[in-house]
Amino acid sequence: MSILGGSMVSPESEVAAVTWIWACAAADLADEVPLGVVLDQIAVCLVRTGRAVFAVRDECTHEAVPLSEGDVQDGTIECWRHGSRFDLATGAVLSLPAVEPVAVFAVRLVAGEVLVEVSPGGYPGPRDVDEGRGGGRDAGVV
């Protein structure tokens, strides 16, 4: 298992206080099956695709329904209600009717446990992703 990541830099380029919150055991995440959790009063949708784990706000930006009730395919999640699709790594909107990206959260895997760095807004997507990490900002590998 790997531990990836370190200090985070906020979108305003200031060093942010990092708060990692335990979300679940990595074994609790089935491949491409979303899991909704509430962390620090924030609804978060966790998704494992292969060896990468992603965390996005568990709310479609088009109509406030849980993304964790949607379908996952090829690194994207689709809202069950109207079919809006979002990139799990960046939060970018990939299909209408949503026009606003979904917030994404940093993920770490430590000793088989999934930790998520939560903040009220997350990191508004889309954002650049370090492709070498295989799963978004500070994503871990199981």
Helix (H, G, I), strand (E, B) or coil at 82: coil
Q: Are 126 and 91 in contact (CB under 8 A)?
A: yes
Helix, strand and coil in the chain, % to nearest 5: 5, 40, 55
Burial of 58: CB neighbours in 10 Å, binned 0-12, 13-18, 19+:
buried
Q: Does the predicted TM-score (pTM) go above 0.85?
A: no
CATH class for the region spanning 20-133 = mainly beta
Domain spans, the chain: 20-133
Would you say 47 and 36 are in contact if contact means Cβ atoms under 8 Å apart? no
- Tens digit of each residue's pLDDT, the chain (142 residues): 333 333 233 344 344 566 899 999 999 999 999 999 999 999 999 999 999 999 999 999 999 999 999 999 999 999 999 999 999 999 999 999 999 999 999 999 999 999 999 876 665 544 333 333 334 444 444 4
